[in-house]
Amino acid sequence: MKSLDHLKMEITELFPDGTSINSKGHFEIGDVDLVDLANQYGTPLYIYDENTIKNICYEFIHSFRKYWKDTHILYAAKAFINKPLAQLMMSENLGLDIVSGGELAVAQSVQFPPSSIYFHGNNKSKDEISMALDYKIGRFVVDNFAEIELLTELCQKKNVVQDVLLRLSPGIDAHTHVKTTTGILDSKFGFSIVTGDAMDAVSSILKSKNLNLIGFHCHLGSPIFELEPYKLGIESMMEFISSTITMGVDFKEFSPGGGFAIRYLKTDKPPQVESYAKMIVETIVKECSKYDMSVPKIVIESGRAIVGRAGVALYRVGSTKDIPNVRKYVSLDGGMGDNIRPSLYGSKYQPYLVNRVAESDSEKVTLSGKFCESGDILVEEAVLPQLHEGDLIALPASGAYSPAMASNYNLNPKPPIVLITKNGTSKLIRKGETYEDLMSFDVL
């Protein structure tokens, strides 16, 4: 048997707040037994914990405001958004970073305050830009020359002046997976400082009567486990920004983006939110003083760190294939359709047996998904107790970029999502898809 005290310590930083082990030897979150949830809603199942999201929002707001009062925390909707989540972020006083008309539509449906919406993206369409202008969103984060032209043209037509930030590419490697690094020269995002594009973009926006350049943005990548890349990125940006002031830029806002890391494995050691805040704010203040600029409003946009740990994926064990001296595959009832991250980026997760949590680990297995790809592996080397058909496996830290990137590959319906509410009950916040849903767009 495992030491429960040790296990309880281990799960505190991987699972949502209030996760514990009940008298039946099951995991529960806020008094809700995960085995009961799996029986009630079926598996795969995604579970989010409201309390944890609220606590993390509070932690972000207070950590950054401790160092700089004029800070605005945005939730990066791409990590996962639907109507209830948008409502929750609104009630926690977060703004919203959106990247598509779809994310904007969700925001509009809950009357998210337009002034705290920031529109990102490297290829915003005419329709998306029009929709956002009509909703009078606060800021466009302008990414490229074509967007400057298109946005100017649409603003002229609608006779509006739009506040914009310029997305810079500062040429800093944040040491993330190559598919999630965005601040280097070879990136599709933003205006490079080194090539001179960023300076040309400033000149071009300053000439536009319909665009009001109020600040600068960058996002280095995700997840960033070190503090140093933020320091280097901010230093590079501030040097550039200081040279734009004499051109007439009224520097009122600065955003170093998001990318804050969370713990996926027991061995991961991400910095505390407070440490990111200290490094970011102190660097901004120091650099502003160096170039004799007033410290602007700071805008932070975090996705993974706000909902990642609040979400848990639950799967049921199905078939097993043991290849002597090679590997034992244990198949789960989900996989790359609900969580593409392991196949796409080689992301790693720490799996736990949910229905007999205290049982000792006894074998190394590969947790495979049910999708028709050999690469559909959720956890390559999982050390777990002996598993049997029907057992329940939890993957903690599954709240960000899993349901958000889910697909219907092999025509598997996307799983339901439940929210454990602050009074310790659960409610469905997205229905599981049915086969009818899967065919509902087909035209015979």
Binding site for ligand PLP (CB under 6 A): 76, 78-79, 97, 120, 219, 222-223, 257-260, 301-305, 400
Q: Which is nearer to ligand PLP, 131 or 405 (CB)?
A: 405
Supply φ then ψ for residue 287, to 5 degrees. -70, -35
Note if 218 is an active site residue: no
Q: Which is nearer to ligand PLP, 33 or 97 (CB)?
A: 97
By CB atoms closer than 10 A (0-12, 13-18, 19+), residue 256 is: buried
**CA distance readout (Å), 209 to 158, 163, 164, 213, 292:** 13, 11, 12, 10, 27
Shortest distance, position 226 Cβ to ligand PLP, whole Å: 14
**What's the CA gap between 342 and 347, in Å, rounded?**
4
Q: Which is nearer to ligand PLP, 78 or 356 (CB)?
A: 78
Shortest distance, position 95 Cβ to ligand PLP, whole Å: 12
Shortest distance, position 183 Cβ to ligand PLP, whole Å: 10
Supply φ then ψ for residue 370, to 5 degrees. -105, 10
Shortest distance, position 377 Cβ to ligand PLP, whole Å: 23
The amino acid present at 127, given as its one-letter code, is: D
- Region for 137 from its dihedrals, namely left if φ exceeds 0, alpha if ψ lies in -120 to 50, beta otherwise: beta
Listed residue (147, 151, 169, 170) closest to 161, CA to CA: 151
Tokens of residue 421, six digits: 């509410």
Which of 57, 155, 288, 372 is an active site residue?
372
Listed in sequence order, the residues at least 6 apart from 170 whose beta carbon sits closer than 8 Å to its beta carbon are 183, 193, 218, 220, 232, 233, 236, 237, 240
Supply φ then ψ for residue 255, to 5 degrees. -130, 120
Q: Which is nearer to ligand PLP, 303 or 416 (CB)?
A: 303
Strands 392-395 and 311-323: antiparallel
**What's the CA gap between 133 and 118, in Å, rounded?**
11
What 3-state DSSP class applies to 66? helix
Q: Which is nearer to ligand PLP, 219 or 309 (CB)?
A: 219
Shortest distance, position 434 Cβ to ligand PLP, whole Å: 30
Q: Which is nearer to ligand PLP, 78 or 124 (CB)?
A: 78
Shortest distance, position 131 Cβ to ligand PLP, whole Å: 19
Listed residue (355, 381, 388) closest to 367, CA to CA: 381
- Tell me which residues are annotated as active site: 372
